[in-house]
Structure 1
Amino acid sequence: MKKREAFRSRWGFILACIGSAVGMGNIWMFPTRVSLYGGGSFIIPYLIFVVLIGSTGIIGEMSFGRATRSGPVDAFGSACGRRGKRKLGEGIGLIPVLGSLAMAIGYTIVLGWILRYAVGAFMGTTLAPQDIDGFAAAFGTMASAFGNNGWLLGALAIGMIILMFGVGKGIEKANKIMMPIFFFLFVVLGVYVVFQPGAVEGYRYIFRVDAKALADPVTWIYALGQAFFSLSIAGNGTLIYGSYLSDEEDIPASAARVALFDTIAAILAALVIIPAMATTGTRLNQGGPGLMFIFLPNLFRSMPGGTVVAMIFFVAVLVAGMSSLINLYEAPIATVQEKFGLGRVSACAVVGIFSGAAAVCIQGIVSGWMDVLSIYICPLGAGLAAIMFFWVCGKRYVEEQVNLGRKKPVGKMFYPLCKYVFCPVCFLVLILGIVLGGIG
C-alpha cells in the first residue's frame, strides 16, 4: 500500500491551515462588518465565537481527518461503518467534497480578478480609471460573463502546479512562503496608513464600544457568521489537512494557533482599510468585491504613493487568496486519488480541467453561485462532519483521537461543548443564513 503523504513540520501544517482560513472574508468582509456594527462592539462577540469554534470545530475536523487518514468520503464512511452503514456515510461525505469543489470553482473566478489587478498595479492599468464610475465600469466588464477567461485560467494553473507537487513539497512549502509575505505586506500597509492625515478617526471607531450595538442580536448574528466562515469550518479543507498529520502533533494547540493568526489577519485588514477610508472622511459601508475592486482602487489613486500601495495590497491579497484556493481544491483532488487510484498529477489535471471549464462558464453568475454555497453547503458540511465525529463516533473515540500527541488531556467539558454547543451552532448558522440571505 502506498504511503500517505504528510506535512513535514508542525509549522508547515499550521501555516497551511492559516492559509486556508485567511482569505477574502478577512479582507473584504471583516472590516466592513466592524464598520457597520459598531467597531469594538462587533469585535467582542466575534472573538467569543472564534474561541468557541477554534476550541471545538477546528479541533474536531483536524482530529477526524487524522483518525481516518482520509478525506471526507472515507472519513464519513469510517464513522458510519462502525454501525454497519459505511456506504451511507460515504454518500453523505460527498456533500462537503462537492461543496469544496464548487466553492473552489467560484473562488477561481475571484482569484482571476485579483491576479489581473495585482499585475495591473505594476503595469499601470489597475489605477487607470479617473473616478469611481470608471472603476465600477472596469470591474463590471471584467466580472461579466466570459469577461476574464485568461486571468482565471492563469490563477487556476498556478494553484494546480502547487498542488501537483503534493503536500510537503507543494502545499506546505507554498504556505511557508505565502503566509509570511501576506502578514509582512499588511503590516507595511498598516504602518503606512498610521501616518496618513485623518487615520486616527478610523482607529477611534475600530476600538470604541457602543453598548446599543453590543446589545443588538444582529451584531452577534453577523459576528457568528464572520467567525464561522473565516475559520473555514465546512467538513472538507481542515479535515483533509488533518489527515496528513502525524500522531505526535498536538491538535488542540495547532487549532489555537490557527484561530489566533486568522484573527490577527482580520484585525490587520481592519486596521488598514477602515483608517484608510477615514482619511477621506468616508465610512466603510461597502463590502465584498465592490470594496476591493472599486472603492479601494479609487481610494489608492488619491493617496500619496497610491501606486505602490496598490501593488503591495493586491500582491498581499493574491497570496492570501491562493493559499485558500489550494485548500479548497485539495479535498476533491484527494478524493479522486482515493476513489479512482489516480496519481497526484493526474488527479490535479482531471480536477483542474473540469474546474477551469466550469469557472469560465459561470463568471456571469458567480455571485449567486457563491451565495448558495455559503448559505447552504458550507454550514451543512460542517454540521455533518461534527455529527459524524462527535455523535456517531462517540465520546471515547473522540477523546482518544484529540488527546493523541498531547501531554495533558483535554478537559471534561470539551466533549459536551462540542456535542451540545458546536453541533447545534452549525445548524443555527445554516438556518440564520437561509432566513437572512447569508451571514457569512
Structure 2
Amino acid sequence: MNNRGEFSSRLGFILAAAGSAVGLGNIWGFPTQVASNGGAAFVLVYLVLAFLLAYPVLMAELVIGRATRSNTVDALEKISGSKWARGVGFWGFITVSLILSFYAIVAGWMIAYCIKALTDILGMVEISTWLTEFSSLRNCLFSTLFIIMTAGIVNGGVSDGIEKWSVRLMPTLFLIIGVLIVYVATLDGAGEGLKAYLQPDFSAVFNADLLISAMGQAFFSMSLGVGTMLVYASYVSDKENLPMLGASVALVDIGVAILAGLLIIPAMYVALHNGVQIFNDSGELIEGGQLILTVLPATFETMGSIGNIIAFAFFALMIIASLTSSISMLEVPVSYVVEDMDINRHKAVWVIAAVIAIVSCIIAINFETLFELVVSMTTEYSQPLLGLTLCVFVGWLWNRNSKLEELKKGYDNIEQSLFWKIWPWYVKFVCPVIILMMFIHSL
C-alpha cells in the first residue's frame, strides 16, 4: 500500500462517505419537496429512484476510485488509457471547488445564526442584529471561517482528519436531529405537519415534475458526479465489499433526508400554529433559504426562552451537515495537488483553501450577480453532465473484466450475484439515458 492514506475501518468510510452525501440539501430541500409533492408518495418515489439511479452511479465512482487509487484527474486517465480524460478530471476539480465556494457562504449563514442564538441568550441585541443582517462583510467573514474549519479537518489527512472527525460529527448529527424531532413532536401543530409529511397522495406519483424532482434529489443528495466519492473510495481497503459499502452509504444518506423531514415539516406547522407564515403567495410551502433563515427562526422566537436553545441546536446541526460535505469537496482538489504536483498536504490544503475563500468572497461581494449564476452552472448543468460522463467512462471505456476483478477483491462470488448481472449494463445504457432526460427537462 502506498502512503496516500486509508480509512482504518468500514464504519469510518461509511460515516465519511455518508457525511459527504448528507448536506444542507438533505435538510432544507428534501422535507419541503416531500410535503409539496404528495407526502409519503414522494418519499416512496425518492427511495425507488435513489436505488435505480443514484446507487448505480455511486457504485461507478466507488469502483473507479478503489481500482485506480488516484485523484479524479489521474483515475479517469487510468481507466480509459487516454490523456484527454484528464480534462474531465479537471472539469470535476473546478466544479467541486466552485460548489464549495458558494456552499461556504450558505454554511457561513448557519454559523452566524448559531452564534446569534448565544448572543440572544446574553442579551447582546446589537450583535444579534448584525449577525442576521445581510452584508458582504458578514458573508465574507463567516464563509472564510467555515473554510478554515474545513481545512483544519482535511489537513489531518484521511484517518487522522477526515475519518476521525466524520465518526464524531455524524453521530452528533443523529443525536441532535433525534432530540429535536422528539421535542418538536410535543408542540401544538406538529401532528398536522406529520400528517402532511407521512400521508401519501398516490395521485401525485405519476406527475412528471414530481418524478424529475425526486430523480434530481436522489442524484444530487448523494454528492455524485464531482469526484468526492471517487476520491474517498481510493482510500478504501481491498478487503471491503464495495456493493455493500455503497448500499450502506446510500441508506444512511436517505435515512438522514427522511429524518430531516420528520423535523422540518412538523416545525413548519408549529410555526403556522404560532402565527408564522409558511406558505408563499402561490400556496406552496416555503423552502430553501427563506425556510431556514426566516420561517424557522421566527418559530424559535415564538417558543420563549427555550427557543434560543432549540435555535442553537438546530443551527449546530446545520453546521455539522455542512462540514461533513465540505471536507469531501476540499479533498478532491487537495488529493490532485498532493499527488501530481508533489506538494505536501499541509501546504496544499491551506493554499487551495485560501483560493476558494477568495472566490467565495468575490461571490459574496457580487452576490446579486454571481451567487445564483454559480449555483446554476455547477449543480444544474455541470454536475449532471459529469455524472453522465462518469457513466460513459465506466460503461463504455473501461474493460468489463477490469471492473469484475476490482469488485471480486472484497466479494469473491460477485459473478453469481444479482448486482453483477444488472449493474454493468444498467450503468452503460439506462443511467446515461435517465440522466440525459433529467438534464434536458431541467433546461
Q: TM-score under structure 1 normalisation? A: 0.91
Matched with 1:266 is 257
Correspondence list, 1:21-420, <5 A: 21-81=21-81, 85=82, 87-124=83-120, 139=132, 141-142=133-134, 144-279=135-270, 280-281=272-273, 282=278, 285-304=285-304, 305-363=306-364, 364=367, 365-409=370-414, 410-411=417-418, 412-420=421-429
Counterpart CA distance in 1 for 2:303 and 2:318 is 19
Aligned-residue CA RMSD (Å): 2.2
Verify the 8 A CA contact 1:117 1:126 in the aligned structure 2. no
Q: CA deviation at 1:104?
A: 1.0
Q: CA deviation at 1:329?
A: 0.8
Q: CA deviation at 1:2?
A: 5.5
Change (3 A) 1:255 1:111: same
Counterpart CA distance in 2 for 1:51 and 1:328 is 23
Q: Aligned residues: percent identity?
A: 32
Q: Could you tell me which amino acid in structure 2 is paired with residue 95 of structure 1?
A: W
Change (3 A) 1:125 1:152: farther
Counterpart CA distance in 2 for 1:112 and 1:146 is 11
Verify the 8 A CA contact 2:60 2:394 in the aligned structure 1. yes
Q: Could you tell me which amino acid in structure 2 is paired with residue 246 of structure 1?
A: S
Counterpart CA distance in 2 for 1:235 and 1:353 is 20
Tell me, which stretches of 5 or more residues in structure 1 are unaligned? 436-440
Q: CA deviation at 1:301?
A: 0.9
Q: Could you tell me which amino acid in structure 2 is paired with residue 300 of structure 1?
A: F
Counterpart CA distance in 1 for 2:109 and 2:427 is 38
1:422 aligns with 2:431: yes
* Length, aligned pairs only: 424
Verify the 8 A CA contact 1:53 1:422 in the aligned structure 2. yes
Q: CA deviation at 1:408?
A: 3.5
3-state secondary structure, aligned to 2:237: coil
Q: CA deviation at 1:233?
A: 0.9
Residue by residue, what CA displacement relative to the aligned partner does 1:208-254 show, whole Å, maximum 9, x if unpaired?
Answer: 22132112111111000111100111141000001111111111111
Q: CA deviation at 1:413?
A: 1.5
Counterpart CA distance in 1 for 2:207 and 2:393 is 34
Tell me, which stretches of 5 or more residues in structure 2 are unaligned? none
Q: CA deviation at 1:8?
A: 0.9
Moved more, 46-55 or 157-166: 46-55
Residue by residue, what CA displacement relative to the aligned partner does 1:75-112 show, whole Å, maximum 9, x if unpaired?
Answer: 1111221xxx2x21112221111111111111111111
Verify the 8 A CA contact 2:118 2:312 in the aligned structure 1. yes
Q: CA deviation at 1:125?
A: 8.0
Q: TM-score under structure 2 normalisation? A: 0.91
Verify the 8 A CA contact 1:76 1:388 in the aligned structure 2. yes
Q: Could you tell me which amino acid in structure 2 is paired with residue 79 of structure 1?
A: I
Counterpart CA distance in 2 for 1:246 and 1:204 is 44
